Chain A
């Protein structure tokens, strides 16, 4: 099965979300749209590749895009991939399917229909017991990686009572928990420069709102913060900054 090859190969440095340029929390619709866009950008006859990509590079990229799409469009494969790569998308399989029940969830449950792409959609036959065992091992592995830190009562109480969740606060907690941005990036699968921009509250260099929201969520979760509160507070400031 293709999916098992993809997941177990675990190619270093390749992130399917980055390949399709979607956030960890992307909906099915976003993934389909991103897939179509990426296919057109990296096809052999795309002018945007001229002088940088050879035909072979283009073929490799298209294969990678197909691979990323095959995994991310399938809720179970995606969940497995997220576990394998320590990606906290904070969505269970059910959430991914029923993301927007009106337009997407229903179509998935009944007859999925995404035009041409549906032809390449193959339903995985996953051995549920093996899947569970695999997920639990992945969980243990990922649990090992968090750095150790010395607990401090003042800091812990500050974290509990935090309301603002500013970029500076994130930096403070990150340092307190002995996490550097490289580690956090590997856990959240968000590029280091985005995490930095998040900490600086440098909204100008951050990508579109939907991505920022996903980043804050992953970031807060990885620091062990109340992610919902963090997202609400952070995005409120973000939105205010963009109001004229």
Chain B
């Protein structure tokens, strides 16, 4: 994660829109991932609607269904069962990701499907993953959106960490909260592991963790503090590295003001427990229209463009594409 956002580089009527630019002023492709650990929390819905909204504003968008084993992004977009899928790429039947791109009914929006894959996300081998991530960066698009699927396999975590904007979807239920924390915790340690090798601190972390009780370490945040105490300069470097890990939170299927406030509460717990800053993008109210649109195999934004759900989503969308717009009050708008 770490795209430089700037207002340069785009002459656009939609002034709220911010296109990241590369250092030489060119447009940067932005990789957004949508995860959250648990199934059925709305990851696919959010990924699909985000993709459609961007595409409608003229951005070239590629949606990639990484929910292998449970892929149904194509259904949400009203695309028939795709013939080419990620399996073809992983098994090297095709060389480039562009060879398995599928057009969708929406202009500017294309899809790479994970449907009918014999592969499970956890079974993608290391080299396959590296090849995929490298090829991802060659895709010709403004935005690439990864629908991550459930679970905390290393591959899912690595895709999340490889993205510029990592979105975590939460529904106000203990099961979702539990999985979100598991997801964030796994991603945190995965990121720390990567930092360990680059900063050569594996031994230090191992020593600290071996005596974790004596060292008073019960949370990841304690671990960061201890590393800082042990070796201040390394501690600073680790902090810096971990500061770039800043998941964005969306609270989905909200039914009350208490549900809205869970977003702030989870942010606070992440700060205290993990020592990381999350950003609350907002909430989306529970809406029966979602299953109605799924039954019709038509994206909710096209089926019910004037619904409350879409106006909620629109606010969240603005915060995703323009980090200068922040979610502050958190009051449920009726």
CB distance from B248 to the nearest CB of A (A): 11
Asked if B246 and A205 sit within 8 Å, CB to CB, the answer is yes
* A50 touching B232, Cβ below 8 Å: no
Does A196 contact B240, Cβ atoms closer than 8 Å?
Answer: yes
CA distance A96 to B149 in the complex (A): 50
Of B5, B15, B328, the residue contacting A244 (CB under 8 A) is: B15
Chain B residues with Cβ below 8 Å from A49 are 269
Q: CB of B297 within 8 A of chain A?
A: no
- CB-based contact B328/A48 at 8 Å: no
B268 touches A192 (CB 8 A): no
Query: Closest residue to B173 on the A side, CB-wise?
Result: A47
Give B273's nearest chain A residue, CB to CB.
A52
Chain A 42-59 near chain B by CB (<8 Å), digits 1 or 0? 000011111111000100
Using A47-B174, A182-B228, A205-B277 as known contacts, list a sample of 7 further A-B pairs with CB atoms less than 8 Å apart, ordered by residue number in A: A47-B265, A50-B177, A51-B174, A53-B269, A181-B236, A196-B239, A204-B324
**A196 lies within 8 A of B269 (CB):** no
**A residues near B264, Cβ cutoff 8 Å:** 37, 41
A-B contact pairs, 24 of them (CB 8 A): A13-B225, A21-B271, A46-B265, A47-B173, A47-B177, A50-B177, A51-B177, A52-B181, A52-B269, A53-B269, A53-B273, A57-B218, A180-B232, A180-B236, A182-B233, A192-B236, A192-B239, A193-B277, A196-B239, A204-B5, A204-B323, A207-B277, A208-B326, A244-B15
Contact B268 A38 (CB under 8 A): yes
A47 to B180, CA, bound (A): 12
Q: Residues of A contacting B271 with CB < 8 Å?
A: 21
**With A51-B177, A204-B5 as given contacts, are A193 and B269 in contact (CB-CB < 8 Å)?**
no
**B243 on interface, CB distance cutoff 8 Å:** yes
B273, A48: Cβ atoms closer than 8 Å: no
Partner of B243, one of A41, A46, A193, A242: A193
Alpha-carbon gap, A204 to B277, bound state (A): 11
- Please determine whether B236 and A47 come into contact, CB atoms closer than 8 angstroms: no
A38 to B242, CA, bound (A): 24
B178 with A51: CB separation less than 8 A? yes
- Whether A244 pairs with B16 at a CB distance below 8 angstroms is yes
Q: Smallest Cβ distance from A156 to chain B, in angstroms?
A: 27
A-B pairs, top 3 by smallest CB distance, nearest first, are A48-B265, A193-B243, A51-B178
Indicate if B208 sits at the interface (CB-CB under 8 A): no
Min C-beta distance of B267 to chain A, whole Å:
9
List B contacts of A191 (CB < 8 A). Answer: 239
Please classify how large the interface on chain B is, using the bins under 10, 10 to 19, 20 to 34, 35 or more: 35 or more
Instruction: Report the separation of the CA atoms of residues A110 and B243 in the bound assembly, to the nearest whole angstrom.
Output: 44
- Residues of A close to B273: CB separation below 8 A: 52-53
Q: A241 near B: Cβ within 8 Å?
A: yes
Q: Is B182 an interface residue (CB 8 A)?
A: yes
- Chain B: minimal CB distance from A55 (Å): 14
| Contact residues, A40-96 vs B (CB, 8 A) | 40-41, 46-53, 57, 61
| B266 adjacent to chain A (CB < 8 Å) | yes
> In the docked arrangement, what's the CA distance between A193 and B181, Å?
22
Minimum C-beta distance from A47 to chain B (A): 6
Q: Are A182 and B236 in contact (CB under 8 A)?
A: yes
Q: How far is the CA of A242 from the CA of B261 in the complex (A)?
A: 25
Contact pattern, A 178-214, Cβ under 8 Å of B = 1, otherwise 0: 0011100000000111001100000111011000000
Q: Using a CB-CB cutoff of 8 Å, which residues 142-198 of chain A contact chain B?
A: 180-182, 191-193, 196-197
Query: Is B172 part of the binding interface, using a Cβ–Cβ cutoff of 8 Å?
Result: yes
Known interface pairs A38-B268, A205-B277, A244-B15; A50-B240 also in contact (CB < 8 Å)? no
Measured CB to CB, the closest approach of chain A to B141, in angstroms, equals 23
CB distance from B249 to the nearest CB of A (A): 11
User: Smallest CB–CB gap between A126 and chain B, Å?
Assistant: 30
Q: B235 at the A/B interface (Cβ < 8 Å)?
A: yes
A37 cross-chain contacts in B, Cβ below 8 A = 264, 268
In the assembled complex, B262 has its CB within 8 A of some CB on chain A: yes
Q: Which of A13, A52, A61 has the most CB of B within 10 A?
A: A52
CB distance from A167 to the nearest CB of B (A): 14
The answer to whether A41 and B239 touch across the interface, beta carbons within 8 angstroms, is no
Centre residue among B218, B269, B273 by max chain A CB count within 10 A = B269
Chain B residues near A207 (CB, 8 Å)?
Answer: 277
Q: Is the pair A182, B182 in contact by a Cβ cutoff of 8 Å?
A: no
Out of A46, A47, A182, which one reaches B235, CB within 8 Å? A182
- Given A21-B268, A241-B324, A48:B232 Cβ within 8 A: no
Taking a contact as CB atoms closer than 8 A, the residue among B16, B233, B265, B324 that contacts A41 in the complex is: B265
Pick the most buried of A21, A47, A51, A192: most chain B CB atoms within 10 A of its CB.
A47
CB distance from B316 to the nearest CB of A (A): 17
**Which A residues lie within 8 Å of B272 (CB)?**
61
Q: What CA separation (Å) do A12 and B15 show in the bound complex?
A: 48
Question: Given that A38-B268, A48-B265 are contacting pairs, would A193 and B233 also be in contact in the complex, using a CB cutoff of 8 Å?
Answer: no
